[in-house]
Structure 1
Protein backbone atom coordinates (compact mmCIF):
# COMPACT_ATOMS: atom_id res chain seq x y z
CA UNK A 1 0.00 0.00 0.00
CA UNK A 2 2.86 2.38 0.80
CA UNK A 3 4.36 1.82 -2.65
CA UNK A 4 1.08 2.73 -4.34
CA UNK A 5 0.73 5.86 -2.17
CA UNK A 6 4.30 6.95 -2.92
CA UNK A 7 3.83 6.53 -6.69
CA UNK A 8 0.47 8.36 -6.51
CA UNK A 9 2.12 11.29 -4.73
CA UNK A 10 5.05 11.31 -7.17
CA UNK A 11 2.91 11.33 -10.32
CA UNK A 12 -0.08 13.26 -8.99
CA UNK A 13 -2.31 10.23 -9.50
CA UNK A 14 -2.00 10.27 -13.28
CA UNK A 15 -0.01 7.07 -13.60
CA UNK A 16 -0.44 3.88 -11.67
CA UNK A 17 2.16 1.56 -10.27
CA UNK A 18 2.99 -1.20 -12.71
CA UNK A 19 3.41 -4.81 -11.68
CA UNK A 20 7.04 -4.77 -12.80
CA UNK A 21 7.72 -1.87 -10.39
CA UNK A 22 6.17 -3.89 -7.59
CA UNK A 23 8.02 -7.05 -8.52
CA UNK A 24 11.34 -5.22 -8.24
CA UNK A 25 10.55 -3.85 -4.77
CA UNK A 26 8.69 -6.76 -3.19
CA UNK A 27 10.43 -10.08 -2.72
CA UNK A 28 7.43 -12.37 -2.43
CA UNK A 29 5.68 -15.08 -4.36
CA UNK A 30 3.24 -13.99 -7.06
CA UNK A 31 0.37 -15.83 -5.35
CA UNK A 32 0.99 -13.94 -2.09
CA UNK A 33 1.08 -10.59 -3.86
CA UNK A 34 -2.11 -11.45 -5.75
CA UNK A 35 -3.92 -12.27 -2.48
CA UNK A 36 -2.92 -8.90 -1.01
CA UNK A 37 -4.09 -7.08 -4.16
CA UNK A 38 -7.41 -8.90 -4.14
CA UNK A 39 -7.94 -7.90 -0.51
CA UNK A 40 -7.06 -4.24 -1.16
CA UNK A 41 -9.29 -4.21 -4.27
CA UNK A 42 -12.21 -5.66 -2.30
CA UNK A 43 -11.73 -3.00 0.38
CA UNK A 44 -11.58 -0.37 -2.41
CA UNK A 45 -8.24 0.95 -1.18
CA UNK A 46 -6.66 0.51 -4.63
CA UNK A 47 -8.03 0.29 -8.16
CA UNK A 48 -6.82 -1.09 -11.47
CA UNK A 49 -6.06 1.35 -14.27
CA UNK A 50 -6.37 -0.16 -17.74
CA UNK A 51 -3.87 1.43 -20.10
CA UNK A 52 -3.14 0.67 -23.72
CA UNK A 53 0.15 -0.91 -22.61
CA UNK A 54 -1.25 -3.00 -19.77
CA UNK A 55 -2.66 -2.73 -16.28
CA UNK A 56 -1.43 -0.83 -13.25
CA UNK A 57 -2.53 -0.09 -9.69
CA UNK A 58 -3.49 3.29 -8.26
CA UNK A 59 -5.39 4.90 -5.43
CA UNK A 60 -9.09 5.57 -6.12
CA UNK A 61 -9.89 9.08 -7.31
Structure 2
Protein backbone atom coordinates (compact mmCIF):
# COMPACT_ATOMS: atom_id res chain seq x y z
CA UNK A 1 0.00 0.00 0.00
CA UNK A 2 1.01 3.64 -0.27
CA UNK A 3 1.71 3.94 3.45
CA UNK A 4 4.60 1.43 3.27
CA UNK A 5 3.22 -0.42 6.30
CA UNK A 6 1.67 -3.87 6.57
CA UNK A 7 -2.13 -3.80 6.72
CA UNK A 8 -5.00 -1.75 5.39
CA UNK A 9 -5.35 1.93 6.22
CA UNK A 10 -8.47 3.71 5.00
CA UNK A 11 -8.51 6.53 2.49
CA UNK A 12 -7.09 9.91 3.44
CA UNK A 13 -7.73 11.94 0.30
CA UNK A 14 -7.08 15.63 -0.18
CA UNK A 15 -10.09 17.93 -0.56
CA UNK A 16 -12.63 16.93 -3.18
CA UNK A 17 -14.35 13.79 -4.39
CA UNK A 18 -12.26 10.74 -5.24
CA UNK A 19 -13.16 7.38 -6.76
CA UNK A 20 -11.78 4.24 -5.14
CA UNK A 21 -11.69 0.86 -6.88
CA UNK A 22 -11.10 -2.43 -5.09
CA UNK A 23 -10.56 -5.64 -7.04
CA UNK A 24 -11.75 -8.71 -5.15
CA UNK A 25 -10.85 -12.30 -6.00
CA UNK A 26 -12.25 -15.73 -5.22
CA UNK A 27 -9.39 -18.22 -5.05
CA UNK A 28 -9.32 -22.01 -4.89
CA UNK A 29 -6.45 -22.11 -2.41
CA UNK A 30 -4.88 -20.37 0.56
CA UNK A 31 -1.81 -18.52 -0.72
CA UNK A 32 0.33 -18.73 2.41
CA UNK A 33 2.25 -15.54 1.67
CA UNK A 34 4.37 -13.96 4.38
CA UNK A 35 3.43 -10.56 5.83
CA UNK A 36 5.00 -7.86 3.72
CA UNK A 37 4.73 -9.80 0.44
CA UNK A 38 4.94 -7.57 -2.60
CA UNK A 39 2.20 -7.06 -5.15
CA UNK A 40 4.31 -9.00 -7.66
CA UNK A 41 4.59 -11.94 -5.24
CA UNK A 42 0.82 -11.84 -4.64
CA UNK A 43 0.03 -11.81 -8.35
CA UNK A 44 2.43 -14.70 -9.00
CA UNK A 45 0.95 -16.77 -6.16
CA UNK A 46 -2.59 -16.15 -7.48
CA UNK A 47 -1.76 -17.39 -11.00
CA UNK A 48 -3.95 -20.35 -11.89
CA UNK A 49 -6.02 -20.06 -8.70
CA UNK A 50 -8.51 -17.28 -9.56
CA UNK A 51 -12.09 -18.57 -9.76
CA UNK A 52 -13.90 -15.22 -10.00
CA UNK A 53 -13.16 -11.52 -9.84
CA UNK A 54 -15.24 -8.51 -8.92
CA UNK A 55 -14.86 -4.76 -8.77
CA UNK A 56 -16.10 -2.66 -5.87
CA UNK A 57 -16.17 1.03 -6.67
CA UNK A 58 -17.16 3.94 -4.49
CA UNK A 59 -16.77 7.68 -4.18
CA UNK A 60 -15.48 9.48 -1.12
CA UNK A 61 -15.34 13.21 -0.75
CA UNK A 62 -15.12 16.17 1.53
Q: TM-score normalized by structure 2?
A: 0.24
More strand by share: 2
Q: Per residue, is there more helix in 1 or in 2?
A: 1
Highest Rg: 1 or 2?
2
Query: TM-score, structure 1 length as denominator?
Result: 0.24
